[in-house]
Amino acid sequence: TPPPGPDYSVTFKPLDDKIVADTVTVPEGYVAEVLYSAGDKCVIGSAGYAGIPQSYPATETQSGGQHDGMHFYPLEGVDPNQGGLLVLNHEALDNATLDQSVEGLKTRLSNVGVSVVEIARGSNGAWAVKADSRYNKRYTGNTVYNVSGPAKAVVGATVVGTLNNCSSGNTPWGTYLTCEETLNNYHYQAGDAGQPADEGYGWVVEIDPQTPGSTAVKRTAMGRFSHENTAYMLDENNRVAFYMGDDTTPGCIYKFVPNKPYDPANRANNMGLLDEGTLYAARFNDDGSGNWVELTVGKNNLTTGATDPGNFTQVATGTVITGTIVDFNSQADVLVNTQAAARVAGATLMDRPEWITVGVDKTVFCTLTNNGSRKRTSASNPRANNSHGHIIRWHERGDSPLATTFEWDLLLLAGRDAADGVAPNLTGNVNGDTFSSPDGIRVDPQGRLWVQTDAGTGTSTTDFFGNNSMYYIDQKTGESKRFLVGPLGCEITGIAYTPDLTTFFINIQHPNQTWNTLRAGGGDARSATVVVRRTDGKPVGA
Ligand code: FEO
Ligand code: CA
Ligand code: CA
Ligand code: CA
């Protein structure tokens, strides 16, 4: 990994305002190339998309839909800047490769989950999927997952399906954490039989992409909520914390601290690390201080007959709130009903916490994408009817992953220019290229902060911001520069890169017009992973 640049600066010429082209637009000197689309061949021997209606189990061999969180892993014996494993989430069904009205439940469930594909760079600099790689694998809504941790006794030893795989994270020991963003299996439709209990979803699921035959594991110790992604901080003693957002209107920010340090010498010793540890939720005090409140049964009011105040920030000040009684009799109760536990313990309800990232200087950033229905504000969520979202950051005390206190401030409020004369909830303070609804966020290994947006794509939004985009943001000045603009209807999500940063992988989710269409004369466009690189071969951004 190259060292951070001296000032984390960028050299690209920012893109124009309000681009609404049906293509991926990148700055001069960069190219964007489609690598892996919904319906593409994944597993060895796959025929790929074979026309509608599709059928199970053939669909289990092809790329799922709605590409989202993603990570690039080196492979032993391969130059990591020339090849490796790309692991990516499929958040939802891609109508470009399915007709949900005629295709059965198992076919639909094939379309969500995770893809593992080996990729390699050709002599012309372009990347391609290696169709014959034994690493290529799908984890889907039909796959069986093991369950571990304190809630195993309640959830069961196995669960069929991972679902709503939003964003993701990696671990110091090289596994992939796919995050389930909803608690229920909404893929079932009228007429489908056998819907399982909803307690099987809403977990962080650990996948070992280097071991193709391995079974993925739902790690219940990390709590059950609308998981967005994970990001870790490691200290000099190999103690680690995993930060996690709950994309709920409103939801809390969490961290999980395993009891044991990560073992860099013996990979196998880390495979149970996520089963034992302490789960916390964040309280952002109005004076800029913060506390991690422990979500352990018996502490912080997590007892039998606890009073859950509910999502009280969604009702007007002065309205009488009648709490709901919730029983926390065991740690399993806390982990199955984590959102209520965080509210009972006094964590702060935030404006939809999406991705979290840990910077090279250990600043932690979280996107709060928007919350159009907030009525009670706080210093950390200062706008009622927050239509465009904001970004919060904090420093752990002593920059330690084990800290139980921190200091926070707001990096920026997204939204329109004050000069537009719009209401305060629509006015942002972004210095440079404005945007709405930050979602993906990542500090790359050279220290550059990137933000991706998921704003509504109706004209009321695109008139002011253009299509959803990716921005570089200077962490000192807050200056924002538009780097990439997606095609019509999409959100931009997923950030992965080779160690030398000469290749970035970005996901285009739910494009809805003619970009990357599959069928001549109709059908939606396909979600896809695109490669972004410079024609001069230098690191992206540098
Ligand atoms: Fe799946 Fe919160 O975005
Ligand atoms: Ca999405
Ligand atoms: Ca997201
Ligand atoms: Ca979003």
Distance (angstroms) between ligand 3 centre and the Cα of 370 equals: 12
Gap between the Cα atoms of 251 and 261, Å rounded: 29
Please compute the mean of the pLDDT values over residues 166-179 and round it to a whole number: 98
- Decide if pLDDT at 389 tops 70: yes
- Residue 2's pLDDT is what? 46
Question: Does residue 91 have its Cβ closer than 6 Å to ligand 1?
Answer: yes
Comparing 395 with 198, which gets the higher pLDDT? 395
The atom number, within ligand 1, closest to the CA of 164 reads 1
Amino acid identity, residue 321? I
What is the per-residue pLDDT across 193-226, written as a single tens digit (0 to 9) for each? 877 777 999 999 999 999 999 999 999 999 999 9
Where are the chain's structural domains?
A: 30-534
Question: Does residue 491 have its Cβ closer than 6 Å to ligand 1?
Answer: no
Question: Does residue 444 have its Cβ closer than 6 Å to ligand 1?
Answer: no
What are the backbone dihedrals phi and psi of residue 102, each rounded to the nearest 5 degrees, phi first? -115, -15
- Residue 5's pLDDT is what? 46
Question: Does residue 525 have its Cβ closer than 6 Å to ligand 1?
Answer: no
Q: Which residue has the tokens 């991706």?
A: 452
Nearest ligand, CA of residue 181? Answer: 1
Distance (angstroms) between ligand 4 centre and the Cα of 90 equals: 14
Protein residues within 5 Å, CB atom, of ion ligand 4: 439, 454
Nearest CA to ligand 1 atom 1: 166
The atom number, within ligand 1, closest to the CA of 91 reads 1
Kindly write down the DSSP assignment for every residue of 69-112, as one continuous string.
Answer: EEEEE--TTS-TTTEEEEEEEE-S--TTS--TTTS-HHHHHHTS
Three-class SS of residue 274? helix
What is the per-residue pLDDT across 422-466, written as a single tens digit (0 to 9) for each? 999 999 999 999 999 999 999 999 999 999 999 998 888 888 999
Question: Is the separation of the CB atoms in 505 and 72 below 8 Å?
Answer: yes
- Residue 186's pLDDT is what? 78
3-class secondary structure per residue, 259-271: CCCCCCCCHHHHC
Distance (angstroms) between ligand 4 centre and the Cα of 452 equals: 10
Q: Which CATH architecture has domain 30-534?
A: 6 Propeller (2.120)
The atom number, within ligand 1, closest to the CA of 228 reads 2
Distance (angstroms) between ligand 1 centre and the Cα of 7 equals: 31
- Decide if pLDDT at 523 tops 80: no
Kindly write down the DSSP assignment for every residue of 360-380, as one continuous string.
Answer: TT--EEEEE--BTT--S-BTT
What is the per-residue pLDDT across 136-172, written as a single tens digit (0 to 9) for each? 999 999 999 999 999 999 999 999 999 999 999 999 9
Question: Does residue 354 have its Cβ closer than 6 Å to ligand 1?
Answer: yes
Nearest CA to ligand 1 atom 3: 166
The atom number, within ligand 1, closest to the CA of 166 reads 1
- Decide if pLDDT at 1 tops 50: no
In this predicted structure, which of 92-96, 175-179, 457-461, 466-470 has the lowest mean pLDDT? 457-461
In this predicted structure, which of 2-11, 122-131, 357-366, 494-503 has the lowest mean pLDDT? 2-11
Question: Does residue 40 have its Cβ closer than 6 Å to ligand 1?
Answer: no
8-state DSSP, 420 = G
Nearest ligand, CA of residue 438? Answer: 4
Question: Does residue 228 have its Cβ closer than 6 Å to ligand 1?
Answer: yes
CA distances from 298 to 277, 281, 324, 334, 514 (A): 16, 15, 18, 10, 55
Please compute the mean of the pLDDT values over residues 359-373 and round it to a whole number: 96
What are the backbone dihedrals phi and psi of residue 197, each rounded to the nearest 5 degrees, phi first? -60, 140
- Decide if pLDDT at 77 tops 60: yes
Rounded to the nearest integer, the mean pLDDT of the chain is 95
Please compute the mean of the pLDDT values over residues 347-369 and round it to a whole number: 97
Question: Does residue 177 have its Cβ closer than 6 Å to ligand 1?
Answer: no
Question: Does residue 247 have its Cβ closer than 6 Å to ligand 1?
Answer: yes
Q: What proportions of the chain, in percent to the nearest 5, are helix, strand and coil?
A: 10, 35, 55
- Residue 8's pLDDT is what? 74
8-state DSSP, 147 = E
Structure tokens at 111: 């379309």
Q: Element (H or E) spanning 400, and its range?
A: none
- Decide if pLDDT at 15 tops 60: yes
CA angle 183, 186, 191 (to 5 degrees): 140
- Residue 7's pLDDT is what? 58
- The backbone region for 181, taken as left when phi is positive above 0, alpha when psi lies in -120 to 50, beta otherwise, is alpha
Nearest ligand, CA of residue 164? Answer: 1
The atom number, within ligand 1, closest to the CA of 493 reads 3
Q: What percent of the chain has pLDDT over 70?
A: 98
Question: Is the separation of the CB atoms in 532 and 520 below 8 Å?
Answer: no
Q: Residue 285: how many CB atoms within 10 A of its CB?
A: 15
Please compute the mean of the pLDDT values over residues 411-415 and round it to a whole number: 96
CA 514 from centre of chain: 26
Question: Does residue 166 have its Cβ closer than 6 Å to ligand 1?
Answer: yes
Distance (angstroms) between ligand 3 centre and the Cα of 118 equals: 24
Gap between the Cα atoms of 90 and 230, Å rounded: 16
The atom number, within ligand 1, closest to the CA of 226 reads 2
What is the per-residue pLDDT across 21-67, written as a single tens digit (0 to 9) for each? 999 999 999 999 999 999 999 999 999 998 888 999 999 999 999 99
Nearest ligand, CA of residue 527? Answer: 2
521 — pLDDT class (breaks 50, 70, 90): low
β partners of residue 391? 367, 412
Protein residues within 5 Å, CB atom, of ion ligand 3: 354, 439
Please compute the mean of the pLDDT values over residues 363-387 and round it to a whole number: 97
Nearest ligand, CA of residue 456? Answer: 4
